[in-house]
Amino acid sequence: MTLLVYGAYGYTGELIAEEAVDRGVETVVAGRNEVRTEHLGRRLDCESRSFGVGEAPDHLEDVDAVLNCAGPFVDTYEPMVEACLETGTDYLDITGELSVFEAVAERDREAEQADVCLLPGVGFDVVPTDCLAGHLHDRLPGATDLALGFDPSGSVSKGTLASAIEHAGQGGKVRRNGDIVDVPSAHRSRRIDFGRGERNAVAIPWGDVSTAYYTTGIGNVEVYTAMPKAAERALRLGRPVLPLLEVEPVKRTLQSVAQLTVSGPSARQRERGACYVWGEATDGETTVTSRLKTPETYALTVDAATTAAERVLEGDQVGFETPAAAFTPEFVLELDGVEGFHDE
C-alpha cells in the first residue's frame, strides 16, 4: 500500500515523510518544486514526484492514499480531492481551515460513490479536540452546547502562519443551532483551566467549529485558545483593519514575509513542548468537563497524521470522516505521550 505525501518538503510535510519512511510505509514524496522534491526523495531513499495540484490525476493512479501537507489548504484541497475522487485514491490532510472542512464534508456522497475516504484534519488540527469532543458526547449524549480549547507552547511553521494569514480577515466563527455564523474577532473570552491553572482564553474560528458538529451532532460549538489579555485587546482594537487582510496583495505580501522569517520549532522544542486541551459539554442541567495533555503540537501532528494514514491504508473507511468518527475518540490516546482523558 502506497502513501503519497504532497507538500513533503515543507516543515511539517518533511517531518511526516520521514516518520512514514521510518515506519516502513511505502512512501512517495511529492510537491511543486522539482529540485526540493528530488533532494528529499534521495535523502529518504524513496520515490519522488514533482507536479502542481492541478496535475494530480496524472500522478495518483498507482498510489492508495494522499496525505496533503501543502497549505494554505484552501488553495490545494479542491484539485487534490477532485483528483482523488477521479482516481479512487483516499485523501487525508493536516488542515485546520474551517472552510476546507465544510467544503470537503459536502463531497461525502461523491466519496461514497467513488469508494474513497475523505479525512481532513489529521494533525493537531483537529485530532485531540475532535477526539475530546467525541469523548464528551459519549459522556453526555444529550448535550446541546460544546466548548473546546487548547493551551499550547512553542512556535509555528511557515505553512501554519500562511494558513492563518489566509483567513485572518474573515473574523470569528461559531456554530449556533447547527449553522456556522460570523462573529467579531475575539468576540468572547472566559477563564479556563486547561490543565495547568486558570488562564484567559479567547474564542477563535478553529476547525472544530466545523468538525465537532459532524462528530457529535451538537449544534452549538465554540473553540477557545489561551491568550493574554493584552493580545485579546489588540485583536479587538484591530477589528477595523481586518478587511485589509482580505485584499490579495496585502495577504500575499504577509505570506511572503512569513516564508522568509519563520522556521518552525526546533527538534528540542518539539521534544520538550506540550499542549493542554480542554472541553466542556452541557445539556443545560448537567455539565461535564474533560482534559488531555499532548506532546508539542507539531510532534503530535507528525504522529497523528502518519498513524491516521496507516489506518486508512489498512482500513475500509469510505466517505467524509472526522478523526474521532473514523477511529473512535480513543484514537488520540493511542498516540505517543498523550495523557487523558481526565474527566470531571
CATH fold of 127-296 reads Dihydrodipicolinate Reductase; domain 2 (3.30.360)
**Looking at the predicted structure, is the pLDDT value of residue 119 above 50?**
yes
Tens digit of each residue's pLDDT (9 = 90 or more) over 263-318? 567 887 888 889 999 999 999 999 999 999 999 999 999 999 999 999 999 999 99
**Highest mean predicted confidence (pLDDT) among 162-166, 202-206, 210-214:** 210-214
What is residue 239's predicted lDDT score, i.e. its pLDDT? 65
E strand intervals along the chain:
2-6, 26-31, 47-50, 65-68, 90-93, 117-119, 145-152, 172-176, 179-183, 189-193, 198-204, 220-226, 274-282, 287-295, 319-320, 339-343
A 10 A CB-CB count for 36 gives: 17
Tens digit of each residue's pLDDT (9 = 90 or more) over 84-110? 999 999 999 999 999 999 999 999 999
The answer to whether 218 and 168 have CB atoms below 8 angstroms apart is no
What is residue 212's predicted lDDT score, i.e. its pLDDT? 98
Q: Which residue has the higher pLDDT, 317 or 169?
A: 317
* DSSP per residue, 50-96: E--GGGGGGG-TT-SEEEE--SSGGGTHHHHHHHHHHHT-EEEE---
From 278, 143, 160, select the one nearest 213 (Cα to Cα). 143
| Gap between the Cα atoms of 291 and 139, Å rounded | 13
Instruction: Please report, rounded to a whole number, the percentage of residues in the chain having pLDDT higher than 90.
Output: 78
Pick the range with the lowest mean pLDDT from 229-233, 241-245, 255-259, 324-328: 255-259
What is residue 229's predicted lDDT score, i.e. its pLDDT? 84
Task: Please provide the average confidence, as pLDDT, over all residues in the chain.
Answer: 89
Do the domains 2-124+299-343 and 127-296 sit in the same CATH topology, yes or no? no
Residue ranges of domains in the chain: 2-124+299-343, 127-296
**Looking at the predicted structure, is the pLDDT value of residue 121 above 70?**
yes
What is residue 155's predicted lDDT score, i.e. its pLDDT? 46
What CATH class is the domain 2-124+299-343?
Answer: alpha beta
**Looking at the predicted structure, is the pLDDT value of residue 330 above 60?**
yes
Tens digit of each residue's pLDDT (9 = 90 or more) over 231-253? 777 767 666 655 544 545 543 54
Q: What residues contact 224, with CB distance under 8 A and at least 6 apart?
A: 147, 148, 149, 150, 189, 190, 192, 201, 202, 203, 204
* Coil, helix or strand at residue 123: strand
What is residue 271's predicted lDDT score, i.e. its pLDDT? 82
